[in-house]
Amino acid sequence: MSRNAHVAAEDASADEILRFSGVSMRYGRGPEVLSDVSLSLPRGSFHFITGPSGAGKSSLLKLIYLAARPSSGSIRLFGEDVGAAPASILPRMRRRIGVVFQDLLLLDHLSAFDNTALPLRIAGHKPSEYRGDVAELLAWVGLKSRMHALPPTLAGGEKQRLAIARAVVGRPEILLADEPTGNVDHEMALRIYRLFVELNRLGTTVIIATHDQDLVARSARPVLHLDKGRLRPLPPQGPVE
Amino acid sequence: MSEAFDPQRWRPAPFLPQEDARDPALLFVVAVLSFLACLTALGVIASSRAAQGWTDQLTAEATVIVRARGGETPDAAAARAAEVLAGVPGVSEARALEKEKAYALIEPWIGDVADLDDLPVPRLVAVGLDARKPATAAALGRALKAQELDAVVDDHSVWIEDIRGAAEVVRWIASAILLLIAGAAAAVVAFATRAGIAARKDVVEVLHLTGAEDGQISNLFELRFAGIAAVAGAAGALAAGLLGGALRLVGGGEGITPALPIAWVDLLVVLPCPVLAALVAAVAARITARRLIQRL
């Protein structure tokens, strides 16, 4: 059973993983890209963020993966007030989040294996602890025969899956994906979606920003709909899985 | 090809591309700066040794000018002064110089005069002093006065002070030059770090967003530039060491010139250069990288 989006701010609970309270954001002195956004997401939920281009989807994700700060309002992530948290704990919070960036941000000079292992290396794990897991994960996303390959030699879908492997290898508590099916065919989009569902079943909170209305409709997952930087609730559509 | 990849044999690749570590321009500039720094250090050591040599020589000697009094001939007065001085504690030897030497000293002023015997030309007494406990100019003066000799004692203290002062000035100038060179090296490395971070913004961004601490990221650049500087420092030190060795060989025991005597042991001064270059580079890279990363 899917959970509903808690668009309005609610009382914090033990199950809450993310809360936005009246969050607005602007880049420099530009116009607001997000206005008065309030939401509360329970741990283990699965949400889509939809909206037209420029609606603020990527900016919302940036705020969640701590790549930007709100110009007003407050964000609670993993029970911490992000604005009041000392800068020194932000890296540790980022390690609890896996991100599939819109432009993937793969490192071209590192092999698929090295790219995937990157979050584990940063977290200070020893290679002997994760070699097997990384190989298993790459096999799971269908890149078993491409582990040594450099990203520029990979096809679009392979790159996408590599970015996903890197995002999930550290078993993040939250998985954010920005247009993860933007450059792949329908078949691949469904395969990737099923991968996210599997991760969600294992307990990861999943948030996907997408334009793919067909995927959203098929999934029957709750939707956070953004329009001109404002959050508008949309009920789940289509059959519930 | 793909079958050849064995995860169990996998070793983590460096986060920064290896080819970035081969920066010939930076290597060259830091090597030249290291070379100049080593030459400066060698120059300071050589000039200090020269100054010390001159000072030792002057400290071990005094010169007494003796003028004849009454009916005494200059030669007799000089001989008597030498005898008196030889008896003063702290004097190892006192010798009256021949009148020809005294004449030679005044020749520039009075010209080549055939017969100076009628003139009361003062005589010189060269006094050798005990190196461990040399007699003071005052003691020598008192002994001469006691024997009613008209004499002036020059213990070279004015010259010694001048030489010491000059050596001190050389040391200060060299220190300033070394500081300037270190500053220039730091500025070059800071510039290279800035360029390196700009060129590898993708790496920095991914590491940052994947949860790397600022220190972890700046360490990458710190180690990289410290490594480049260490190699460049070693090259500069080697070149300076070879040049110093060549000067020592060409000049024999006194180096290229008695003014700059180089000893083999002096060449050891270039040894810390690679470490110091790496330290300066590491600090410059760390400060620059941290400042840039904090703006992310």
Q: Tell me, yes or no, if the pTM score tops 0.80.
A: no
Mutation target vs A (from B8, B20, B209, B224; most A CBs, 10 A cutoff):
B209
Same domain flag for B166 and B287: yes
- The predicted pLDDT at position B258 comes to 61
* The pLDDT of residue A126 is above 60: yes
Domain boundary among B133, B152, B173: B133
Residue B240 covered by a domain = yes
| Mean pLDDT score of chain B | 84
Over the stretch B161-171, which tens digit does the pLDDT of each residue have? 888 888 889 88
Question: What is the C-alpha separation between A125 and B211, in angstroms, rounded?
Answer: 13
Over the stretch B104-118, which tens digit does the pLDDT of each residue have? 777 777 776 666 666
* The pLDDT of residue A70 is above 90: yes
Query: Using alpha carbons only, what angle is made at residue B42 by residues B38 and B45, rounded to the nearest 5 degrees?
Result: 140
Provide the CA B72 distance to its chain's centre, in angstroms: 51
Question: What is the C-alpha separation between A60 and A34, in angstroms, rounded?
Answer: 7
Residue B140 covered by a domain = no
Average pLDDT over residues B206-234: 92
Model confidence band, residue A234 (pLDDT cutoffs 50, 70, 90): low
Element (H, E) at B66: strand B61-67
Question: What is the C-alpha separation between B208 and B211, in angstroms, rounded?
Answer: 5
Same domain flag for B72 and B47: no
Cβ within 8 Å, pair A114-B2: no
Average pLDDT over residues B170-176: 88
* The pLDDT of residue A10 is above 50: no
- The predicted pLDDT at position B87 comes to 87
Size of interface A-B (CB pairs under 8 A): 70
Average pLDDT over residues B150-169: 84
Query: Which residues sit opposite A34 in a β-bridge?
Result: A25
User: What's the Cα-to-Cα distance from A240 to each of A43, A188, A215, B89, rounded to whole Å?
Assistant: 20, 22, 13, 115
Q: For residue A117, give both structure tokens.
A: 């292992």
pLDDT above 90 covers a percentage of chain B that reads: 24
Nearest-CA distance B46 → chain A (Å): 50
Same domain flag for B193 and B123: no
Question: What is the C-alpha separation between B264 and B244, in angstroms, rounded?
Answer: 9
Question: Which chain B residues touch A108 with a CB distance below 8 Å?
Answer: 202
Residue B144 covered by a domain = no
Over the stretch A169-220, which tens digit does the pLDDT of each residue have? 998 999 999 988 877 778 878 888 888 998 899 899 999 999 888 888 888 8
Residue B287 covered by a domain = yes
- The predicted pLDDT at position B2 comes to 45
In the structure, how many helices (H) and strands (E) does chain A have?
Answer: 7, 10
Same domain flag for B269 and B178: yes
Same domain flag for B77 and B194: no
* The pLDDT of residue A12 is above 60: no
Closest-CA residue of B relative to A111 is B13
Question: What is the C-alpha separation between A215 and B265, in angstroms, rounded?
Answer: 78
Same domain flag for B224 and B277: yes
Q: Which domain holds residue B94?
A: 61-133
Average pLDDT over residues A114-133: 94
Closest-CA residue of B relative to A109 is B17
- Determine contact, residues A162/A195, Cβ cutoff 8 Å: no
- The predicted pLDDT at position B3 comes to 53
Same domain flag for B164 and B86: no
Q: What is the DSSP string of A159-175?
A: HHHHHHHHHHTT--SEE
Residue B198 covered by a domain = yes
Question: What is the C-alpha separation between A68 and A78, in angstroms, rounded?
Answer: 17
Q: For residue A221, give both structure tokens.
A: 């997952």
Element (H, E) at B67: strand B61-67
Same domain flag for B239 and B278: yes
Domain boundary among B118, B133, B148: B133
Query: Using alpha carbons only, what angle is made at residue A204 by residues A203 and A207, rounded to the nearest 5 degrees?
Result: 140
Closest-CA residue of A relative to B9 is A131
Mutation target vs B (from A78, A101, A110; most B CBs, 10 A cutoff):
A110
| Mean pLDDT score of chain A | 87
**Listed range (A173-177, B80-84, B118-122, B226-230) with the worst mean pLDDT:** B118-122
Strand (E) positions, chain A? 16-26, 32-42, 46-50, 72-77, 80-81, 97-100, 174-178, 205-209, 223-227, 230-234
Residue B203 covered by a domain = yes
Residue B4 covered by a domain = no
* The pLDDT of residue B184 is above 70: yes
Average pLDDT over residues A139-145: 89
Same domain flag for B85 and B231: no
Question: What is the C-alpha separation between B157 and B154, in angstroms, rounded?
Answer: 8
* The pLDDT of residue B119 is above 90: no
Same domain flag for B188 and B76: no
Domain boundary among B80, B98, B133: B133
Same domain flag for B170 and B228: yes
Residue B39 covered by a domain = yes
* The pLDDT of residue A223 is above 50: yes
Average pLDDT over residues B93-107: 78
Q: B227-263 burial, b for 16+ CB within 10 Å, e for fewer?
A: ebbbbbbbbbbbbbbebbeebbeeeeeebbeeebbbe
Same domain flag for B197 and B264: yes
Amino acid at B52: Q
Average pLDDT over residues B128-157: 85
* The pLDDT of residue B151 is above 50: yes
Model confidence band, residue A237 (pLDDT cutoffs 50, 70, 90): low
Specify the number of domains making up chain B.
Answer: 2
* The pLDDT of residue B50 is above 60: yes
Over the stretch B8-26, which tens digit does the pLDDT of each residue have? 888 899 998 887 767 888 8
